[in-house]
């Protein structure tokens, strides 16, 4: 557990431990939940499909392509549940493979055309 106050910046870093220097790490999705075993029922999206969903989310420069750094403000779910669990999904790609997910960035769902 890591204790922070509400609205305090929470800084996170993910690092890929690999001897292959031609790998890139991409943060695709981070979801928060009031319970550690259920990230589908009551959740809050911090980032989804590479797109920031929380207005306090920000990325930070990393000197390494196999490391991602980001932050968001700490928050609390309603009903005074003091605990928040965060689960993130990261993607590993070959460096300079511009067709890979790592280089696509934010993928927003396009709206469907309702015309006949």
**pLDDT-derived band at 116, boundaries 50, 70, 90:** very low
Domain boundaries, the chain: 8-96
Q: pLDDT for 38-87, tens place per residue?
A: 888 889 999 999 999 999 999 999 999 999 999 999 998 887 678 899 99
Q: Is 102 helix (H, G, I), strand (E, B) or coil?
A: helix
Local structure of residue 110 (DSSP, 8 states): P
Q: pTM for the complete prediction?
A: 0.84
* 8 exposure class (CB count in 10 Å sphere: 0-12, 13-18, 19+): exposed
Q: What is the CATH number of domain 8-96?
A: 2.60.40.4100
Per-residue pLDDT at 79: 76
Decide if 37 contacts 43 (C-beta within 8 A).
no
Reading the block at residue 69, the tokens are: 């750094």
């Amino acid at each position: 557990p890591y204790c922070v106050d509400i609205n305090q910046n929470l800084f996170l870093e993910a690092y890929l431990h690999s001897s292959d220097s031609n790998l890139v790490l991409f943060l695709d999705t981070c979801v928060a939940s009031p319970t550690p075993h259920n990230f589908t029922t009551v959740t809050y999206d911090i980032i989804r499909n590479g797109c920031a969903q929380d207005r306090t989310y920000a990325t930070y420069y990393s000197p390494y392509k196999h490391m991602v750094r980001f932050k968001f403000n700490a928050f609390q779910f309603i009903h005074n549940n003091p605990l928040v669990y965060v689960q993130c999904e990261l993607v590993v790609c070959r460096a300079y493979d511009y067709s890979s997910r790592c280089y696509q960035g934010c993928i927003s769902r396009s709206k469907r055309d309702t015309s006949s």
